[in-house]
């Protein structure tokens, strides 16, 4: 996949990407995964370490002979040749890269720094140090490769969720077809354990699927006939038939994959600064090294060229910006990977930084904090039994298509069956009238009972939720309290945000009384109801005038203007809507509001790790640079300041992959 390759190579190339040209199409025409020839050849595993192992063994033998087990023959050109032999496995690829980069116009790269430093060491006869610098540099590169691969593992897991082939029923025959060749309307046969290749509609009576690849949740999801099933879902129990409703390239999973793979295009400000810094920093370092070597001859009476050249070489090795320019993007890649593992998709590392500094979270009510589905919350029977009240009301509501009626029928759970309904009349703006087993039933709002002059308990008029009052044979019989059900983790989500001192605000088009009731239950700081889309925009603008960094969480479709206005737009349940994926900056796939807190936590931890690496790299390098220029540091300290710090930074960056949020 072209985009996958782009993602991979950009990540790994960033260490030496002193010029953006490395990301050009021309530079990506080769097939291997890593643009550094010395890193690995695509086979992976232990084979990529072979050159470094060979070089290390030869170097250790030479140091042993030099210092502990002298051999007469190991002198002169034999000794030089041995060190050259130890240098070539790790040094030759770097020299080639330096030469190639110069031909491309990229003169000041880390390849040039390392080439000058190591060849200079050979020139002044510091052969062990020359080999050691290149060896440890190569080892650092290998660890960079491994770290980046680890950082991408969650995204690769996503890529693996889309099968290349699927079993299709054609004229009562079962045939295997390439997924991209399957057309809308064709029927896929899905065996237990198989992954669905395309979005579709379930034709079987029921089936259970593992949706972890899409939502991050391992809990099985049961689907009924006619319900939507998505590419990447794994069938768990019986053979299922699925009618394809979406082309291969337009599936929800395809859109998600495209989004994640493109995430690296939106760099965080810190990342962009470091890359720009490296472009300026590297040539300055080269000229400073030349100055350290040559300028002292104007001021020092006993000037020795080789001594000052050595100091310059130490300076070059230390100054290599590798620790910064690999560990920082790696930190952000790790953050994006950790988020995707938790069912959160960031559209770029810049939004990790934004989420880390969020001061207020504005949330839509319906679909974000509530399930967006009407449910019977309470049944109160007055003059009849509760069973009878439910039975007659549900039977009458079978003649209605109103969502409230559907909620009552669902609550009855078949209790209404066997009741004969006649003479049904819908009274506009009031409710229904009809006969159930010969009894006259009225079901609707309080206005319905007032219309027919039936007395009822007036206390119910103060209830903020939807009330369906019932009269049987012209006598008040009770009521149903119906409300949009609050999500199980909504209260936890709000409490978690409060622990971070983040202000919570709820905006909704629902009645203010309903909104206030939900806000009280969830302990939300501020709640505004009766809002049109333009009113929501106005409320968000008011918050922004308070200089608050804010995120907006909603469905991403109706709330598109608000999503655009917020510093970070969060779409809840991104699998439900194409528009959600298009408009939002962050997509929460499993519809859980607690994931807002998780996204903020990942953003904060990513920023912390990035700044830890920046601080560590600058402090260590500054100390050793000063010591090196003063002649107090050798190549061995320089190796630690470069490769050692880079490795520490890399290990620190990949920590986020193991963290639980």
Q: How far apart are alpha carbons 370 and 573 in whole angstroms? A: 12
Which stretches does DSSP call E strand in 230-346?
A: 234-235, 240-244, 344-346
A 10 A CB-CB count for 280 gives 11
User: What are the φ and ψ backbone dihedral angles of 220, each rounded to 5 degrees?
Assistant: -60, 145
Residue 500: both structure tokens together: 């971070």
Q: How far apart are alpha carbons 368 and 385 in whole angstroms? A: 36
Q: Are 575 and 593 in contact (CB under 8 A)?
A: no
Q: How far is CA 566 from CA 15, 273, 585, in A?
A: 33, 24, 10
Q: Which residues of 563-581 are buried (b: 16+ CB within 10 A; e: fewer)?
A: bebbbbbbbbbbbbbebbb
DSSP for 528-595 reads E-S--HHHHHHHHHHHHTTT--EEEEE-SSTTHHHHHHSSEEEEESGGG-HHHHHH-SEEETT--THH
Cβ-based burial of 552 (10 A; exposed 0-12, middle 13-18, buried ≥19): buried
Q: How far apart are alpha carbons 190 and 260 in whole angstroms? A: 27
The answer to whether residue 495 is catalytic is no
Active-site position among 364, 510, 585, 591: 364
Q: How far apart are alpha carbons 617 and 609 in whole angstroms? A: 12
Q: How far apart are alpha carbons 359 and 366 in whole angstroms? A: 22
Residue 195: both structure tokens together: 């992954």
Q: How far apart are the first and last CA of the chain?
A: 31
Strands 466-472 and 475-486: antiparallel
SS (H, E, C) 456-514: CCHHHHHCCCEEEEEEECCEEEEEEEEEEEECCCHHHHHHHHHHCCCEEEEECCCCHHH
The owner of tokens 């999500």 is: 487
The whole-angstrom distance between residue 429's C-alpha and the CA centroid of its chain comes to: 47
Count CA atoms within 13 Å of residue 482 on its CB side. Answer: 22
Strands 200-202 and 240-244: antiparallel
A 10 A CB-CB count for 338 gives 26
Strands 360-364 and 550-554: parallel
Could you give the residue numbers annotated as active site?
Answer: 364
């Amino acid at each position: 996949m072209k985009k996958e390759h782009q993602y991979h190579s950009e990540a790994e190339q960033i260490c030496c990407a002193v010029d953006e040209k490395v990301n050009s199409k021309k530079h990506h025409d080769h097939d291997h995964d890593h643009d550094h020839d010395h890193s690995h050849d695509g086979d992976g595993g232990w084979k990529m370490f072979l050159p470094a192992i060979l070089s290390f063994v030869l170097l250790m033998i030479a140091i042993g002979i030099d210092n502990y087990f002298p051999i007469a023959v190991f002198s002169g050109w034999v000794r030089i040749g041995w060190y050259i032999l130890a240098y070539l496995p790790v040094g030759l690829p770097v020299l080639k890269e330096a030469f190639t980069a110069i031909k491309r116009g990229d003169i000041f790269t880390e390849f040039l720094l390392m080439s000058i430093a190591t060849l200079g060491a050979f020139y002044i006869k510091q052969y062990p140090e020359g080999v050691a610098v290149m060896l440890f540099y190569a080892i650092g590169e290998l660890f960079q490769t491994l770290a980046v691969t680890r950082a991408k593992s969650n995204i690769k897991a996503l890529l693996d969720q889309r099968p290349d082939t699927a079993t299709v029923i054609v004229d009562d025959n079962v045939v295997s077809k390439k997924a991209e060749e399957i057309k809308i309307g064709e029927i896929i046969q899905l065996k237990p354990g198989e992954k669905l290749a395309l979005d579709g509609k379930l034709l079987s009576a029921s089936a259970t699927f593992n949706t972890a690849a899409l939502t991050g949740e391992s809990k099985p999801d049961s689907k009924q006939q006619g319900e939507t099933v998505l590419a990447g879902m794994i069938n768990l129990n019986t053979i299922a038939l699925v009618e394809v409703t979406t082309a291969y390239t337009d599936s929800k999973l395809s859109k998600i994959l495209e989004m994640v793979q493109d995430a690296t295009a939106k760099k965080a400000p810190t990342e962009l600064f470091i890359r720009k810094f490296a472009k300026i920093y590297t040539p300055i370092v080269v000229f400073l090294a030349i100055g350290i070597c040559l300028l002292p001859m104007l001021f020092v009476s006993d000037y020795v060229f080789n001594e000052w050249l050595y100091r310059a070489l130490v300076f070059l090795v230390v100054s290599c910006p590798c620790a910064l320019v690999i560990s920082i993007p790696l930190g952000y890649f790790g953050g994006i990977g950790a988020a995707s593992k938790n069912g959160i998709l960031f559209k770029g590392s810049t939004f990790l930084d934004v989420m880390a500094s969020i001061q207020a979270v504005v949330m839509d009510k319906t679909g974000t904090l509530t399930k967006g589905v009407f449910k019977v919350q309470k049944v109160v029977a007055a003059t009849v039994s509760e069973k009878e009240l439910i039975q007659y009301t549900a039977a009458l509501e079978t003649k209605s298509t109103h969502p409230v009626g559907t909620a009552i029928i669902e609550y009855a759970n078949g209790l209404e069956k066997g009741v004969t309904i006649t003479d049904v009349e819908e009274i506009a703006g009031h409710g229904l009238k009809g006969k159930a087993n010969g009894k006259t039933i009225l079901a609707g709002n309080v206005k319905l009972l007032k219309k027919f002059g039936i007395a009822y308990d007036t206390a119910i008029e103060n209830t903020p939720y939807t009330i369906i009052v019932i009269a049987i044979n012209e006598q008040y019989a009770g009521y149903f309290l119906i409300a949009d059900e609050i999500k199980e983790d909504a209260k936890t989500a709000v409490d978690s945000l409060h622990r971070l001192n983040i202000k919570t605000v709820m905006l909704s088009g629902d009645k203010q009384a309903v909104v206030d009731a939900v806000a009280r239950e969830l302990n939300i700081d501020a709640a505004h109801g009766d809002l049109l889309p333009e009113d929501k925009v106005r409320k968000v603008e008011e918050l922004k005038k308070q200089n608050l960094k804010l995120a907006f969480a909603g469905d991403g479709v109706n709330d598109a203007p608000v999503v655009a206005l917020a510093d970070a737009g969060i779409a809840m349940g991104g699998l439900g809507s194409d528009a959600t994926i298009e408009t939002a900056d962050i997509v929460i796939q499993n519809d859980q509001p607690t994931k807002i807190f998780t996204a903020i936590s990942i953003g904060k931890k990513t920023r912390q790790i990035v700044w830890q690496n920046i601080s560590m790299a600058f402090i260590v390098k500054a100390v050793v640079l000063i010591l090196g220029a003063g002649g107090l540091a050798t190549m061995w300290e320089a190796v630690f300041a470069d490769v050692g710090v880079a490795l520490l930074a890399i290990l620190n960056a990949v920590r986020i992959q193991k963290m639980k949020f």
